[in-house]
Amino acid sequence: MESGTLIADRYRLDSLIAWGGMGAVWRGFDTRLDREVGVKILRQGLEEAQSPQERFEREAKTLAGLKGPGFVEIYDYGADSDGGQAVLFIVMELVEGVSLAELLHREERLPAERAMRIVAEAAEALDAAHRRGVVHRDVKPANILVDEADRVRVIDFGISKLSGGPELTSTDAVLGTASYVSPEQLRRGEVTGAADQYALGAVAYECLTGAPPFDSIDREAITHGHLHTPPPALPEDVPAAAAAVVVRSLQKAPEDRWESAGAMARACRAAMESEPAAAPVGPPTLKQRAAGVWSWRFGFVTVAVVALLLLTGLFAFSPWNGLGGSQAEESTGAAEESEGEDRSPEESAAVDRTDAPEEEASDDAPEDDGATDPGGDQDTESDSPEDSSGDGDEEDDPPASGSAEVPDVTGMTTFEARDELNEAGFGSVTAEVGYYWYTPEPEHCTVMQQSPNSGSTADRSEQITVYYHERQAEGTTCEW
C-alpha cells in the first residue's frame, strides 16, 4: 500500500504510523465525514495456518463490543481490493501518542506513581474486557498506548479468547509474548483473566526496573523463570506498596493473584495514595536514599573522630600520665603502626600511594593495544600503580573508544546481530521492529536493515540500530 491510496472509495491512507507481524496502521482521512482516522490493514501473504482473516475479524468485532476510555473506538470494518488482491481493513479512532514500549525505550524506567497509574488504567480496561468474556492473552508494553494526555488504551485483541468462542489455533499452541506470558499459558492450561493480570504484572515490573522480570536471550531460561523462579527483588527505591502489587500479580498460581483485574487496579491506585504528598516527582531514588544514609554516617563518623582526637590530646598532655610530648608522639606513632598492621593489603596500598612520591611507570607494564572487552569487564590489575604513567606520555584508551567498520548483520537474528556487533566493539545496540513485504516471508527476528549501514565507519560508542521482521504469531520477543 502507498500513501494516497483510497480504501473503499472513502478512506485515504496518508502516512504509516506503525507496523507489526499481522498488519500496518496508517494515519488516514475519512473523506465522507472529513475527519482523521486510523486505518489498520491486514498484511498480505500471511500463512493460512495463522488464521489471519479470522483473527483480524475477531479483533474488529471484539473492539467494537468494548466501550470505555481504555479502548480505541472502532468505526468500520470491511474488505477492498488492491492490484487484484483482497485487502481487509479496520477503521478506528486515531489516537495521538506512543506505545508504552516506545516510552520505556526512551525513559527506561518510570517513577512509581506514574507506573502505578498506567498499570491501574490498563487493569481497568482489562477488567471491562474480562466482564464481557474477553481475555486479551498478549498484554505487553507494545499493546498499551499512552496518548498525549497520558491516558492508557489497551490495543491488539487479535489473539484474544472469547468465552464459548472457537479457538483459532491448535490446542498445543502457546500464544503470547515470552517475556510476559503466564505460567498457565506455558502449561497449556485454562486461560482466564488471571493470565492478563500476570502479564500486566510483568509490564509493571518492567516499568519500575527497566526490564521484564525474566529477561534473557534464551527462551528456555525465560520459560523456566515464569514456571519455577520467583522474580528478582525490585530495587530499593520502589515503594513497598507498589512492590506488593507487582509481587502478588506475578504469583505462579492464578488463584494467588488478585480476585480480578479491577481489584488489581484498585490496589495500584491505593499504592499511589500511600505515597507522601511532599514528593511531587515520585519516591526517592536509590541514589538519593544512599546519599541520605551516607550523610548520616559521615556525620556520625566525624563526631566520633573529633571525640577521639580530644581524648588522645588530653591523655597525651595530662600531668598525671607521666608522659612528655615526645612520648605522646611515640605513642601516637605506635598506634598508627598497630593500625597499619590491621589494614587489608588494598588499604595499605592506598596509604602507600598517598604518602609515597610519584613514580614512573614500570617498563614491564603491558601496553594497551586499544582492544575492548564487549562485556565491559576489565582486568583488576588495571588500577594498580604500575599501570598508571607518571610522566603522562602514554594514556589508556577508554572502553569502546575509537572508530571501526560496521559489520553486515542483515540476515542474522537480532541476538546474533547484537553479539556480532558487540564483538566488533559496538557496545550500544538496539533492535526495532520493521515491516517488510517479502515473499516468502522472512523468519521471525531476522534483521532486514541496519543503521549505520554495513561497511561504514562509526565510533564504537555510537548506537547501532537493527530493524527486524516480526512474526506476531511466533509469540517470542526479538528484543533484549
- Total domain count, the chain: 3
Tell me: do 30 and 154 sit in the same domain: no
Q: Which domain holds residue 224?
A: 97-273
74 pLDDT band, cuts 50/70/90, is very high
Alpha carbons 138 and 180: distance in angstroms, whole number: 8
Task: Judge whether residue 245 has pLDDT over 90.
Answer: yes
pLDDT at 30 over 70: yes
pLDDT band at 405 (very low <50, low <70, confident <90, very high): very high
Most confident of 264-268, 331-335, 419-423, 470-474: 264-268
Shared domain check, 35 and 154: no
Question: Which CATH number fits the domain that encloses residue 21?
Answer: 3.30.200.20
Residue 255 confidence (pLDDT) above 70:
yes
In-domain check, residue 148: yes
* Predicted pLDDT of residue 240: 95
- Tell me, yes or no, whether 17 and 129 share the same domain: no
**Contact criterion met (CB below 8 Å) for 152 and 121:** yes
Indicate if 30 and 123 belong to the same structural domain: no
Task: Please check whether residue 139 is in contact with residue 122, taking contact to mean a CB–CB distance below 8 angstroms.
Answer: yes
Question: What pLDDT sits at residue 110?
Answer: 96
- On whether both 19 and 104 belong to a single domain, the answer is no
126 and 84 part of one domain: no
Q: Is residue 392 part of a domain?
A: no
Same domain, 59 and 85: yes
The total of other beta-carbon atoms located within 10 Å of residue 351's CB is: 13
* Secondary structure percentages of the chain, helix, strand, coil, to 5: 40, 15, 45
Integer angstrom CA distances of residue 426 from 38, 78, 218, 299, 419: 38, 47, 21, 44, 9
Q: What pLDDT, in 10s, does the model give residues 163-209?
A: 555 554 444 445 678 999 999 999 988 899 999 999 999 999 999 99
Give yes or no for residue 358 having a pLDDT over 60.
Answer: no
Burial of 7 (0-12, 13-18, 19+ CB in 10 A): buried
In a domain, 328, yes or no: no
Unique residue bearing C-alpha cell 610530648: 325
| Spatial CB neighbours of 79, under 8 Å, sequence gap ≥ 6 | 86, 87, 88, 89
Most confident among 35-39, 66-70, 285-289, 425-429 (mean pLDDT): 35-39
* Cα–Cα distance measured from residue 283 to residue 43, given in angstroms and rounded to the nearest whole number: 44
Residues designated as active site: 138
| Residue pLDDT, tens place only, 386-402 | 343 344 444 444 445 68
- Could you tell me if 101 and 88 lie in one domain? no
Average pLDDT of the chain, as a whole number = 77
pLDDT band per the 50, 70, 90 thresholds, residue 93: very high
- Report how far apart, in Å, the C-alpha atoms of 296 and of each of 67, 290, 334 are: 53, 10, 31
pLDDT of residue 473: 60
More confident residue, 212 or 82: 212
Q: Give domain status of residue 343, yes or no.
A: no
Say if residues 363 and 389 touch (Cβ distance below 8 Å).
Answer: no
Other Cβ atoms within 10 Å of 69 Cβ, number: 12
Percent of the chain with pLDDT over 90: 46
Per-residue pLDDT band at 434 (split at 50, 70, 90): confident
pLDDT tens digits along 31-54: 999 999 999 998 776 655 556 788
59 and 118, same structural domain?
no
Q: What is the largest CA-CA distance in the chain?
A: 111
Return the pLDDT at 421: 93
In a domain, 374, yes or no: no
Residue with cell 588530653: 314
Span 229-235, average pLDDT: 94
Q: What is the pLDDT of residues 268-278, one digit of tens each?
A: 999 998 754 33
Statement: residue 321 has pLDDT above 60: no
| pLDDT tens column, 112-138 | 999 999 999 999 999 999 999 999 999
Classify the phi-psi angles of 341: left when phi > 0, otherwise alpha if psi is within -120 to 50, otherwise beta. alpha
Report the alpha-carbon distance of residue 45 to residue 60 in Å, rounded: 20
